[in-house]
């Protein structure tokens, strides 16, 4: 079961690039972030014609997450538990029925800038709620994949120029600690299980020649429960997608599970 995560930075802007990547990479399941569309505005027919089931949790103009799956989906839920007043569309879950059932959560964590401030407080509160949900999912003792744009640079090796991010919400010690508290529950960073070295990134800013200079950061992650880690066959980043026509500022990250 190939599961991918891709922050597309707007479905309208990626209406040609996304189907082209799907045809080339052929993932079984894709979680999308920043679809920037209400549910009824998402071009679901385009992806259904490619063989995907489509589930969205949209929001007008910004945020928004989705799951595309060639495999059956069960128990689809929307929204991160823990704050009934939170209206931001950043979390979607479903059980994917392959050779084994896998619970997949697609997430778009808050950016948090400027920090300190209300946006950073929301980021840390959101990640604390995510930890509670991640803990609850572990209790099922089933394979769980938490996939998406975490907006956290875990380590210095995950940035080409870590010194440039010292005061950014993505790299502040509190942000990295919030992510580590989730990992400490028993989750594993799938990409690092297969690629422990530096120089791997999933985001490059559109400005200042970041892509041309490979001045990137790794903020898109797939965390695996122990049961999912046992099924891991491979993991990767589709870096070449950034060089395509009308690219997102992110590229897809993916895993292959024996499921």
**What are the catalytic residues?**
108, 149
Helix or strand (DSSP H, E) at 131: helix 118-138
Measuring CA to CA, how many Å separate 63 from each of 39, 108, 144, 195?
12, 7, 23, 29
Query: What is the rounded CA–CA span in Å between residue 178 and residue 181?
Result: 5
**Ramachandran sector of residue 231 (left: φ over 0; alpha: ψ -120 to 50; beta: rest):** alpha
Nearest of 7, 23, 26 to residue 252 by alpha carbon: 7
The answer to whether 108 and 7 have CB atoms below 8 angstroms apart is yes
Nearest of 32, 87, 40 to residue 65 by alpha carbon: 32
Phi, psi torsion values for 40, nearest 5 degrees = -70, -15
Count of residues making up the chain: 259
The answer to whether 120 and 114 have CB atoms below 8 angstroms apart is yes
């Amino acid at each position: 079961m190939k599961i991918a995560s891709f922050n597309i930075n707007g479905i309208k802007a990626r209406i040609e690039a996304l189907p082209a990547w799907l045809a080339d990479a052929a993932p079984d399941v894709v979680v999308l972030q920043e679809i920037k569309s209400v549910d009824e505005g998402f071009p679901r027919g385009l992806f259904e014609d490619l063989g995907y089931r489509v589930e969205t949790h949209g929001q007008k103009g910004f945020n928004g997450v989705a799951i595309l799956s060639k495999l059956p989906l069960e128990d689809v839920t929307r929204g991160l538990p823990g704050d009934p007043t939170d209206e931001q569309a950043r979390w979607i879950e479903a059980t994917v029925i392959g050779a084994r059932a896998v619970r997949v959560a697609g997430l778009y964590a808050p950016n948090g800038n400027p920090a300190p401030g209300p946006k950073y407080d929301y980021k840390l509160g959101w990640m604390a709620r995510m930890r509670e949900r991640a803990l609850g999912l572990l209790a099922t003792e089933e394979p769980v994949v938490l996939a998406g744009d975490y907006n956290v640079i875990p380590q210095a090796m995950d940035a080409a120029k870590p010194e440039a991010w010292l005061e950014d919400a993505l790299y502040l010690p509190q942000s990295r600690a919030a992510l580590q508290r989730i990992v400490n529950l028993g989750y594993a960073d799938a990409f690092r299980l297969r690629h422990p070295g530096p120089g791997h990134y999933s985001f490059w800013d559109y400005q200042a020649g970041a892509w041309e200079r490979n001045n990137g950061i790794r903020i898109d992650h797939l965390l695996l429960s122990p049961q999912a880690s046992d099924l891991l066959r491979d993991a990767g980043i589709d870096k070449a997608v950034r060089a395509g026509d009308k690219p997102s500022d992110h590229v897809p990250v993916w895993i292959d599970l024996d499921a």
